[in-house]
C-alpha cells in the first residue's frame, strides 16, 4: 500500500463526499410523511434529520426495522436539492438529511456550509463575512 501524506486521505474523502452530494442534489428521493402529514424526521444530538430513501425497498426495510411494516407509509418524491435548500431551512434549529437511515449504505448530509444554505449551517452562523 503506497504511503500517502497525512491530509491527502482527508482531501480524497472530501472529494468523494462532494461527488455523493452532487448526485444526491440531482436525485429524486422518497420522503415519508407521518400521521400529521409532516415529513418524517428524527432528532439526534441536537440535529433534526429529514429521513429520505433512495427507493421503495429502502423505505420498506426502514419500516420493517421499526416494526411498522404493516401500516401504510405515505411518501412524496422530492429532489435532494429541494430538501437541502428549501426544506432544511424550514426546520426548527439545525437540520440535515439522513438518506436510507438504518441501512449499510446510509448517508448523512449534515447542517454545514456547502451542504445546506449558509444561513442555517452550524459552522458559519455568527461568523462575520470576510
Would you give the distance in Å from CA 64 to the centre of its chain? 20
Question: Domain segments of the chain: what residues?
Answer: 8-120
CB atoms within 10 A of CB 30: 18
The CATH number corresponding to 8-120 among 2.60.40, 3.40.1350, 3.30.160, 3.30.420 equals: 3.40.1350
Task: Give the model confidence (pLDDT) of 95-105 as tens digits.
Answer: 999 999 888 88
Would you give the distance in Å from CA 40 to the centre of its chain? 12
pLDDT of residue 129 exceeding 50, the answer is no
Confidence of residue 57 (pLDDT cuts 50, 70, 90): very high
Q: What pLDDT score was predicted for residue 85?
A: 97
- Say which residue, 75 or 45, is predicted with more confidence: 75
Q: What pLDDT score was predicted for residue 78?
A: 96
Instruction: Over range 16-33, report the average pLDDT.
Output: 95
Say how far apart CA 112 and CA 118 lie, in whole Å: 7
Say how far apart CA 44 and CA 107 lie, in whole Å: 14
Residues 6+ apart with CB under 8 A from 57: none
Sign of torsion over alpha carbons 54, 88, 78, 15 = negative
Nearest partner of 24 among 69, 78, 70, 68, judged by Cα: 78
Amino acid at each position: 500500500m503506497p504511503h500517502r501524506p497525512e491530509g491527502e486521505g482527508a482531501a480524497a474523502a472530501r472529494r468523494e463526499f462532494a461527488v455523493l452530494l452532487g448526485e444526491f442534489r440531482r436525485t429524486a428521493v422518497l420522503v415519508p410523511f407521518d400521521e400529521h402529514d409532516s415529513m418524517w424526521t428524527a432528532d439526534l444530538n441536537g440535529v433534526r434529520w429529514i429521513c429520505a430513501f433512495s427507493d421503495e425497498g429502502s423505505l420498506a426495510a426502514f419500516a420493517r426495522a421499526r416494526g411498522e411494516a404493516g401500516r401504510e407509509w405515505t411518501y412524496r418524491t422530492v429532489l435532494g436539492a429541494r430538501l437541502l435548500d428549501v426544506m432544511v431551512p424550514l426546520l426548527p434549529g439545525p437540520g440535515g438529511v439522513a438518506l436510507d437511515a438504518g441501512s449499510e449504505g446510509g448517508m448523512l448530509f449534515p447542517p454545514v456550509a456547502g451542504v445546506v444554505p449558509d444561513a442555517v449551517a452550524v459552522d458559519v452562523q455568527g461568523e462575520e463575512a470576510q
